[in-house]
Amino acid sequence: MKLNIREIASLIEGKISGNEFLEISNVAKIEDAKSGDLTFLYLSSYEKFFPTTKASAIIVKTGFEKSRNDLTYIETDAPEKAFFAIVRKYFTPQFPLSGIDPTAFVDSTAQLGNNVAIGKNVVVSSGCIIGDNTKVFHNTTLADNVTIGADCLIHANVSVREDCKLGNNVIIHSGTVIGSDGFGYSPNEKGEYIKIPQIGNVIVEDDVEIGSNVSIDRAAIGSTVIKRGCKIDNLVQVAHNVVIGEHTVISAQTGVSGSTKVGDHCILAGQAGLVGHIELGNNVVITAQSGVSKSILKPGYYSGSPAMEMRSHQRMQAQVRFIPDYAERIKELENKVKSLTELLSKK
* Angstrom distance (rounded) from CA 237 to CA 42: 34
Cis peptide before 299 (omega within 30 of 0): no
> Using an 8 Å Cβ cutoff, are 86 and 12 in contact?
yes
> Using an 8 Å Cβ cutoff, are 26 and 41 in contact?
no
Q: Which of 84, 41, 86, 91 is CA-nearest to residue 66?
A: 41
- What amino acid occupies position 221? I
One-letter-per-residue 3-state SS of 5-69? HHHHHHHHCCEEECCCCCEECEECCCCCCCCCEEEECCCHHHHHHCCCCCCCEEEEECCCCCCCC
Phi, psi of 162 (to 5 degrees): -55, 140
Query: Is 155 known to be catalytic?
Result: no
* Angstrom distance (rounded) from CA 225 to CA 173: 18
* Angstrom distance (rounded) from CA 59 to CA 73: 6
Helix, strand, or coil (residue 87) = helix
Burial class of 33 by CB neighbour count within 10 A (0 to 12, 13 to 18, 19+): buried
CB proximity list for 177: less than 8 A, separation 6 or greater: 158, 159, 161, 214, 215, 216
* Angstrom distance (rounded) from CA 162 to CA 25: 45
> Using an 8 Å Cβ cutoff, are 203 and 182 in contact?
no
Query: Pick the catalytic residue: 155, 173, 240, 313?
Result: 240
* Angstrom distance (rounded) from CA 293 to CA 304: 11
Active-site positions read 240
